[in-house]
Amino acid sequence: MKAFPTICRQLRSSRRFSLEPTAHVDFSTSSCACSRKKKVSPYKEVDQGKYSDLVQSVLSSRGLAQTPESLFEEDNLLYGPVSKCKPPKQDEKARVPGNWCPLFNPERIKLNATSTPTIPLKIPLQRNMIPSVTKILQQTMTSEQIFYLERWKKRMILELGEDGFEEYSSNLFLQGKRFHKALESILSPQGDLKERDENLECGYVESVQHILKDVSGVQALESAVQHETLKYVGLLDCVAEYQGKLCVIDWKTSEKPKPYIRNTFDNPLQVVAYIGAINNDANYSFQVQCGLIVVAYKDGSPAHPHFMDTELCSQYWAKWLLRLEEYTQKEKNQNIQKPDQGTE
């Protein structure tokens, strides 16, 4: 084997090999580094000085970040403390009225078109100790209903003030009263024709025009009813045929759309209470099996009709009986406490 120095001398003498130092060359694994210049961010080309004042003003005007605690404090200030209600148990059985009374009267006959009276009944409401349907529903509202009602009232007072809210409530009452008076004039056969034409200019009346086309055979208008067994009274708006079916019709006004029957809150209970009363009132010889809630709008937009057939009326009737029992029990408890309070 040749010595290492000998091999080096031979390599130096060779033309193909050179041990002279060469310039240092860097190699990159990226092809872009060799062929392309480094990209410059387009944001660096923006005139920072021109927009710095704008950015600073936006950031300086940004409010403090809201937290769940601050949101609760704000809500408590505007609407009052939140009423916490326990959710109903899933395995809880549906309540059944203890004192069941049928909605329909088997002794009554279904009204025929030939028996339509020439003048609708209009029985005045007698003021006595018997509770009204409206009072019973108001005294037995759920805690959730009370909460949302009070929340709405506080919000309106916050916007309008105490005096403004009273004026607003008074105007709503007067508008509803005029609307009912206008419908009574339109549906009554002895109504004033001139007054009917004037009522057509009312937005609420315009709203129900497509409903009135399907209403015929009016039996009662603004007439009192009394359930002789369950002992309650009421003043119904109208009893007439709607699309061929005899109904208790309840006219309602609203500032917000109510396209579904669930949007009408306790109105279905009011309707079935009147149906049950009229079927057990000796002043009425016919039987009603259906109901109709009509929600009219001030701007004249088409009203929403909510028809209640026999099955739906029966479902709401059971709920009404529960509310009636609750009211009766409350009255008994109050009567028991009154003598004790007097002796103290």
Give catalytic residue positions: 237, 250, 252
Taking the C-alpha atoms of residue 250 and residue 229, their distance in angstroms, rounded to an integer, is: 23
Taking the C-alpha atoms of residue 111 and residue 219, their distance in angstroms, rounded to an integer, is: 10
Taking the C-alpha atoms of residue 272 and residue 269, their distance in angstroms, rounded to an integer, is: 5
Coil/strand/helix, residue 308: strand
Coil/strand/helix, residue 264: helix
Helical ranges in the chain per DSSP H: 4-13, 31-35, 48-61, 68-79, 133-139, 143-187, 193-199, 203-207, 209-212, 267-278, 310-343
- Whose CA is closest to 221, among 191, 197, 196? 191
Taking the C-alpha atoms of residue 251 and residue 295, their distance in angstroms, rounded to an integer, is: 6
Taking the C-alpha atoms of residue 330 and residue 82, their distance in angstroms, rounded to an integer, is: 25
**Using alpha carbons only, what angle is made at residue 149 by residues 148 and 150, rounded to the nearest 5 degrees?**
90
Structure tokens at 4: 């290492």
Torsion of Cα atoms, 110 then 116 then 120 then 124, to 10°: -30
Quickly count: other Cβ atoms within 10 Å of residue 241's Cβ: 19
How far is CA 251 from each of CA 7, 96, 206, 241, 274, rounded to the nearest angstrom? Answer: 117, 30, 13, 14, 13
Taking the C-alpha atoms of residue 139 and residue 325, their distance in angstroms, rounded to an integer, is: 12
| DSSP for residue 255 | S
